Structure formats: structure tokens, C-alpha cells
Amino acid sequence: MKYENMKKDELIAVIRQLANEKMDSPPTVVQILRDMKLDYSRENFILIALDNKLKILKKKLLFTGGVETSIVDMKVLLREAITVKKCSGIIIAHNHPSNECTPSQEDIVLTRRVVESCKMLGINFIDSLIFSEYSFLSMKEANYL
């Protein structure tokens, strides 16, 4: 969607729609991610903070890496989540520039670390998504969690 060409009223309508949209299915979340205008030639790591009704409170590109990896600083990730008022859950997501959405061993280990950290902080871990321009994988639905 081309937001820069929209009129103010149209933008407000889109923002209201997104603000009221529940992030209860991976395809919905992936569409939001694809609207972020990411550089798909590099790995991007995104945090989505949600309220208790699964509405987006904040989405933020936290880390950008190279063509094969991105360094994720757990302290930065968790600080972002706990400083969002009314945040009760998170979704993490990153793209694979190769367009192959199968999780690497590093993806699995990182996701498990985030899950354990969220448990200690009382934050619901909703899902970890791997996406490309053309496909995606929910680690929760694929039973990696």
C-alpha cells in the first residue's frame, strides 16, 4: 500500500483500521510486517508489542543485519517490550533474505531464549515469525515452540 500518496483522511482511516485489527493470526501479522517497507536483501528483526486483546501497541524494527544473520541483543528486545505501557504480549519476527522460511538452529535457540525470558517477566510470548517477500512460517504453528 502506498501511504505517501494518501490524503490525511485516508491515512487516518488506515491507522484506525490497523489499530483495531487483532493480531490473532500469522497472515494478519505478516501483512503488517510487509507494509513496513523493509529492505529484503538484509535480515531485519522486528518486535510487535500487544495488549491483552492482541491489538498492536508498538511495532519496531529493532535490529538490521546482513544477508545471513542479524545480531539480537536480548536486553534491548526485552527493554522495548517492558517499557510499552499495557504490553501483555509480544510477537517477534524476522525475514530471511534467501526467501527460505525454514528456521535455522540459531532461530530456534534465540526464540526459546525469548520465550524463557518472557516467562520470567510475565509477558505472554505469542509467536515467532519468519517471513520473506513471498512466504512465511509461524514457529508456533510449525511446533518449534
pLDDT tens-digit series, residues 102-114: 999 999 999 999 9
What pLDDT digit, counting tens, does each position of 126-139 carry?
A: 999 999 888 899 99
In 32-82, where do the E strands start and end?
A: 44-50, 56-64
Coil, strand or helix: which one is 37? coil
Q: Is 75 exposed, middle or buried (0-12, 13-18, 19+ CB in 10 A)?
A: exposed
Helix H or strand E segment including 31: helix 26-34
22-138: CATH topology? Cytidine Deaminase; domain 2 (3.40.140)
| Overall average pLDDT of the 18-45 stretch | 78
User: Model pTM?
Assistant: 0.80
Domain spans of the chain? 22-138
